[in-house]
Amino acid sequence: MKKISDYIVSFAFLYSSFLCFDKTVDFWETKRYLAVIILICGTLSFIAVFRFSLAKIIYFLINKFFKNAKKK
């Protein structure tokens, strides 16, 4: 069950990713290397919004593949 703090942290990740994407657009013409670094940070921050869904998928795959390997 998610707590209110989980929602707050997810919102913070989403907000920071939007800020990073906005700064990337600003720096793209003048400071390309800095823009790429900020773009990578924004992408990772955006992926972090879905950390609970990704964890469920990873645990499902681990249980599926390793339980089948132990039965053989």
Q: pLDDT tens, 7-66?
A: 899 999 999 999 999 999 999 999 999 999 999 999 999 999 999 899 999 999 999 888
Listing DSSP states for 16-50 in one string gives: HHHHHHHHHHHHTTT-HHHHHHHHHHHHHHHHHHT
Kindly state the DSSP code that residue 72 receives in the 8-state scheme: -
Structure tokens at 6: 């989980």
Cβ atoms 49, 10 nearer than 8 A: yes
Average pLDDT score, the chain: 90
- The whole-number pLDDT of residue 45 equals 95
